[in-house]
Structure 1
Amino acid sequence: MPVRIMSWNVWWRFGDWRARHEAILATLRAERPDVCGLQEVWAVRDGEHQAELLGRELGMHWTYSPSPMPGRWHSRIGDTGVDVGNAILSRWPIGATAIGDLGGEGRTVLHARVDAPDGPIPVFTTHLDSSPAGSAGRCAQVERLLPFVAAHSAGDHPPVLTGDFNAEPDSDEVRRAGGHLTAPVVPGLVLVDAWRYHDGTEPGWTWDRRNPHVAGHGAPNARIDYIMVELRGPGRGCVDRVHLAGTGPHRGVWPSDHFAVVADLR
């Protein structure tokens, strides 16, 4: 059976986050990912935790990495009691975890070794800096990100990197992360963008002005969310299918300002 991987920025506590939480949950139930990398996950200090709530509702294991610099986020909603970070949900047990500091705006990369029935899968999720003029900073974060991926990748399954890169496919930082359109950060580590296996009938925009949460920003449509898999040739980890999810409202509520990416890996 293929392994279904999902990557989704779930837009923290912005907008009507309670109603959106239900729409996020409904989308995850419909897509049934085996492993899901989430960004902008909220966690109330000494209280509710979005990853825990989703994991409990879906019957999935979870792990979480908070941002070490949440102050900018706190100022946007006027609440200093809610953390923001990355999370990984898994249908199978999570055998080991690790967190890497990427610097910049307080970004991290979260690793989980997913103990799947056919062997462990090294999974990673991250969220790079968001400034439109921040390409140089994101390139510096990629220079930290890829050695972390290499250091925590072991076994027969290629590493799987998910995340919101806040950058388009032809940007310096995304090309650098892939390592096949430019020199790889880690010699020999080449990651392929799963969307390249799509049939080409849609552009794959994950930041789309059809979404009312996006329409007021003034920014153009863009593909900034990714699932990347180490390229090892035919065999385990090859991308069979890829599509978007969360591309419409659930009971009148759009779940996030981002669409999700879903890929089925061999």
Structure 2
Amino acid sequence: MIRVMTWNLWWRFGPWQERSKAILETLRDERPDVVGLQEVWGRGADNQAGWLANELGMHWAWAPSPEPGRWQRRIDDPTVEVGNAVLSRWPITEQDTAVLPAGEEEPDGQQALYARVAAPGGVTVPFFTTHLISYPHASATRTAQVSALARFVHERRGDGDFPPVVTGDFNAEPDSDEMRLLCGTKTAPAVRGQVLLDAWRYAHPTAVGATWDLANPYAARTLEWHTRIDYVLVGPPGPVGEGHVRDVRRAGDGPVDGVWPSDHCAVVADLATEAGGPAG
């Protein structure tokens, strides 16, 4: 199996230093092979993804936002960057980024990060992570963003047997226009013939799926509702079942030593390899 994970780390908001320790402990407990991270901070030579990778013995890729101004104004610090990152237990052999359209909103630097992961046994995983614009009214912009994301996935997925894995904070509910367009199973897909399957649909029917969970005090203080907005999406399985979802659940859904790691819960999914067993 290959264990993949997605998590929005809530940048430098709240008690971010204490939260960083809770994030690290959660990742240690979950032992993911590949992780898509959003709202990752960087400041000069210091980088949250780099620190996590060093502590966990993982490889990493980082894509800072080209338009960080709105974020920096929120903490009154123009020196701190924000971006997406990938952590991988195995080497990252290729990476690329695509800036997503801002539509009528203030440019916010939303982008997608691609990392090709060289897993054991000759398995290569085309892995993507992204963070779409968060305004509740901006469904049209998110729709444009997922169209651009879908094209980027199509261009970078390669021709291997392992399907593309697309992770991120989409700021959209499962039945929204933008998720229907991206997944391509309930409406025509953004790229003809390209379908992405929502891993959470393989969870037990009674499993708690909300990643914006009002049990979390950081989430509860907003006027947003209890819902699922973070996803692990995967293309249809390969010829012998590569990428098939074997298990899916939340993580980071409670405090660590009294500290909630982020305002979002993470999603963890176990995906089959071509050998049908552990990848390494």
Which residue of structure 2 aligns with residue 78 of structure 1?
A: 76
Which residue of structure 2 aligns with residue 31 of structure 1?
A: 30
Which residue of structure 2 aligns with residue 219 of structure 1?
A: 224
User: Where does 1:112-261 land on structure 2 (aligned, <5 Å)?
Assistant: 112-118=115-121, 119-154=123-158, 155-232=160-237, 235-261=241-267
In structure 2, the residue corresponding to 1:244 is in which secondary structure? strand
Matched AA of 1:100: A
In structure 1, the residue corresponding to 2:100 is in which secondary structure? strand
Q: Distance in 1 between matches of 2:218 and 2:150?
A: 31
Please, which of 69, 92, 101 is the counterpart of residue 94 of structure 1? Answer: 92
Q: Distance in 1 between matches of 2:27 and 2:55?
A: 10
Q: Distance in 1 between matches of 2:207 and 2:222?
A: 22
Residues 70-124 of structure 1 deviation map (CA, whole Å, 9 limit, x = unaligned): 0000011010000000000000000000000102121000000000013110000
TM-score under structure 1 normalisation?
0.98
In structure 1, the residue corresponding to 2:46 is in which secondary structure? coil
Matched AA of 1:22: K
Matched AA of 2:48: Q
Which residue of structure 2 aligns with residue 262 of structure 1?
A: 268
Matched AA of 2:145: Q
Matched AA of 2:27: L
Q: Percent identity?
A: 56
Shift of 1:186: 1.0
Shift of 1:235: 0.2
Q: Distance in 1 between matches of 2:189 and 2:235?
A: 12
Please, which of 61, 64, 67 is the counterpart of residue 62 of structure 2? Answer: 64
> Which stretch shows the higher mean deviation, 197-206 or 219-228?
197-206
Residues 167-217 of structure 1 deviation map (CA, whole Å, 9 limit, x = unaligned): 000000011110111101111110000000001112400001100101110
**Residue-pair matches, total:** 264
Shift of 1:232: 3.5
Shift of 1:243: 0.3
Q: Distance in 2 between matches of 1:237 and 1:220?
A: 32
Runs of 4 or more off by more than 2 Å in structure 1?
none
CA RMSD of aligned residues (A): 0.9
Q: Distance in 1 between matches of 2:24 and 2:237?
A: 34
Shift of 1:254: 0.2
Shift of 1:219: 1.1
Unaligned runs of 5+ residues in structure 2 are 103-107, 273-280
